[in-house]
Structure 1
Amino acid sequence: MNISVRRLLLTVIGAPAAAMSVWAVAVPVAGTALTVRTGAATQQVGPVAIVVASIVAGLAGWGLLAVLERFVSRPGRVWAIVALAVLALSLFGPVGSAVGAAATLVLILLHLVVGTVLVPGLARR
C-alpha cells in the first residue's frame, strides 16, 4: 500500500473516530439525547449510525476524488469546493429533523467535525 492510499484510508477512518469523540462527550457525559424526527416517529441517533454515515461519506468523497483526479486538472481544489458545498447542504438535515436545541447543536457539530477531517484530508495531494 503506497503512502497516498494509506493517508486517504487514515482520513476515512479518522472521520468516524473524530465524530465518536464528539458523541462520547455529548451523549454519555453531557446527557444529550440525539433524537431526530423521521416522518411521524422519532429515532435515536446512536454510535453505529454515526460511524456508518461517516465512513460512507468518507468513501464517497474518496471515490469522487478518484474520478476528479482522472478528469480534472486541479482535483484537490474542485474536491474542496464540492465537498464544502455538500457539507453546507448536509447541515439542513439536523436543522430540520433534530428534536430540541441540544440535539440540533450536537448533530451540526458532528457534521462539521466529519467535514473538518474529510475535506482537507482528502484534498491534500
Structure 2
Amino acid sequence: MRGDAVVVRVKGDVDSLSVDALNSHLAKARGNAVCHPSRLVVIDLSEVTYFGSAALNAVLSCHEEGAAEGTSVAIVADQPYVMQPIQITGLHRVLETHPTIEQALQRDGQSPDGEGRTPR
C-alpha cells in the first residue's frame, strides 16, 4: 500500500494457472482500498509477460466489484500484448488505463465510471 493508493504489482505470466493468486491479491487490495482515503486500487501490469483471458477477467471482476464497493480501479499497462485484449474486447471504454503508475496516481477528478481515463 502506498500513501496515495493501494497498489498491486503483477509480474510474469498471468494465465489460468496463476489467476487464482492474482484474484486473491486483488480481493485483499479492494478490502484495503475501502478504508483508504483515495479508495483507489492501482493494478500495475507493467512487468507482466503474458496476459491471457483469465487475467482480463480478473481485472474486469476487480473493476466491477470495486465499483460496487465504492472504490476505483486503475490499470497501469503500456505493452501491446496487455493493451490489445483490452481494446479488442472494448474494455478500454470501461477500464481506466494509464501508461505509468505516476499517471495513474495523478487522476484527480476522475470518477469510478471511467470518465477522464486515458484513451488508448
Taking structure 1 as the reference length, what is the TM-score of the superposition? 0.34
- Greater percentage in strand: 2
Taking structure 2 as the reference length, what is the TM-score of the superposition? 0.35
Q: Which has the larger radius of gyration?
A: 1
Q: Which fold has the larger relative contact order, with Cα–Cα distance below 8 Å and residues 6 or more apart in sequence? A: 1
- Greater percentage in helix: 1
